[in-house]
């Protein structure tokens, strides 16, 4: 009976969930897309992904150890691995190494660590890195290798992505429609584009894993995809000559990757289901606007970053329904 007893207030048990568990499931869910990218882009996809992950982890360790002087590194939580993978997934597979390293530094350093590390960053770190690279290295970031050059890296021949072609069609170049791949090929990922975004199928498998493991809820991905489908659907019905059908939009570019993995980032998304739906609608709306009217063919990154910026406002507007309020 002389045992030492802990004294603390309730609750005394925990469901066992940890930051690591959630992060590890996100990494697992990204594996199908990684495999798909290796099949489509070959060795280049692997080089870019490994470089991005390694440099993100290195920078996270260096910054927390030497700049922040933290004794215990947060490297183990797995968030740097995810940032690295997501950054790589948003790059073409023929991008030079030094550009990846610089992008990783910006993603981890400016996107995350300056705010105090995981949990405090207002913007998605991988997207901060990606947009930095898009502005700094515009040519390299917008030339995508053709699929199935399995052994080439920076020397791969490039071609237009489906989104470029869709943009050209809207611009009145009806001939571009001939080179547009079929929806089925887009869905499988048999097309040019960034590493992780090509295969909608692989990304959907990943998001189903996350939903089943209750890492994320359906609200953000579904509201983004539904908004894009509805808006592009309206355009298509109004003028099917200029605008392609919504399935092309859903399966092309970074939409699926963004909706499933980038917009659902815990730290930078809203805290209530209602907020998540509005956030998703906002992202979907901005993506369509940028795709149709912006100078970039791709709008996902910017749409997510813009909505990231107003998440604090969404959190203030969209409160959970308080018990008993309706009864008053």
Beta bridge partner(s), residue 144: 159
Distance, in Å, from the CA atom of 13 to the CA atom of 24, rounded to the nearest integer, reads: 23
**Residue 66 C-beta: closest distance to another protein, Å:** 20
**Whose Cβ is closer to another protein: residue 109's or residue 117's?**
117
Q: Is the dihedral of CA 313, 319, 79, 62 positive or negative?
A: positive
**DSSP letter string, 124-144:** -HHHHHHHHHHHHSHHHHT-E
In the bound state with another protein, the residue whose beta carbon lies nearer, of 116 and 171, is 116
Nearer residue to another protein within complex by CB, 5 or 135: 5
- Residues in contact with another protein by CB under 8 A are 1, 3-15, 17-19, 21-22, 77, 116-120, 217, 266-273, 319-328
Which class for 305: exposed (0-12), middle (13-18), buried (19 or more C-beta within 10 A)? buried
Q: Which is nearer to another protein, 171 or 320 (CB)?
A: 320
Minimum distance of another protein from residue 19's CB (angstroms): 5
List Cα–Cα distances, 328 to 274, 317, 321, in angstroms. Answer: 21, 21, 13
In the complex, least distance from residue 217 CB atom to another protein, rounded to whole angstroms: 8
In whole angstroms, the minimum distance from the beta carbon of 54 to another protein comes to 23
Give the nearest distance from C-beta 85 to another protein in angstroms: 17
Q: Which is nearer to another protein, 234 or 313 (CB)?
A: 313
- The answer to whether 119 touches 11, Cβ cutoff 8 Å, is no
Task: For the chain, give percent helix, strand, coil, nearest 5.
Answer: 60, 0, 40
């Amino acid at each position: 009976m002389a045992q030492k007893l802990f004294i603390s207030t309730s609750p005394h048990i925990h469901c066992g969930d940890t930051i690591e568990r959630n992060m590890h499931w996100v990494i697992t869910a990204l594996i199908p897309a990684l495999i798909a990218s290796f099949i489509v882009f070959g060795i280049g996809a692997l080089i870019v992904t490994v470089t991005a992950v390694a440099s993100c982890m290195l920078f996270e360790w260096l910054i927390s150890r030497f700049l922040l002087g933290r004794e215990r590194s947060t490297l183990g939580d797995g968030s740097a691995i995810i940032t690295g993978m997501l950054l790589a997934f948003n790059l073409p597979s023929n991008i030079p190494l030094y550009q990846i390293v610089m992008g990783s530094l910006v993603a981890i350093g400016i996107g995350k660590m300056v705010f105090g590390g995981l949990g405090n960053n207002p913007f998605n770190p991988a997207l901060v890195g990606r947009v930095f690279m898009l502005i700094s290295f515009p040519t390299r970031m917008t030339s995508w290798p053709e699929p199935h050059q399995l052994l080439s890296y920076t020397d791969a021949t490039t071609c237009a992505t489906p989104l470029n072609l869709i943009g050209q069609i809207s611009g009145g170049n009806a001939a571009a429609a001939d080179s547009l791949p079929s929806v089925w090929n887009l869905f499988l990922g048999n097309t040019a584009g960034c590493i992780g975004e090509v295969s909608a199928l692989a990304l959907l498998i990943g998001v189903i894993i996350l939903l089943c493991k209750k890492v994320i809820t359906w609200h953000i991905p579904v509201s983004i995809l539904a908004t894009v489908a509805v808006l592009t659907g309206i355009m298509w019905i109004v003028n099917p000559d200029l605008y392609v059908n919504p399935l092309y939009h859903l399966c092309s570019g970074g939409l699926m990757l963004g909706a499933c993995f980038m917009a659902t980032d815990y730290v930078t998304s809203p805290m209530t289901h209602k907020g998540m739906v509005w956030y998703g609608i906002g992202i979907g709306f901005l993506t369509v606007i940028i795709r149709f009217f912006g100078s970039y063919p791709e709008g996902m990154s910017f749409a997510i970053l813009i909505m990231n910026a107003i998440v604090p406002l969404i959190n203030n507007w969209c409160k959970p329904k308080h018990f008993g309020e309706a009864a008053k």
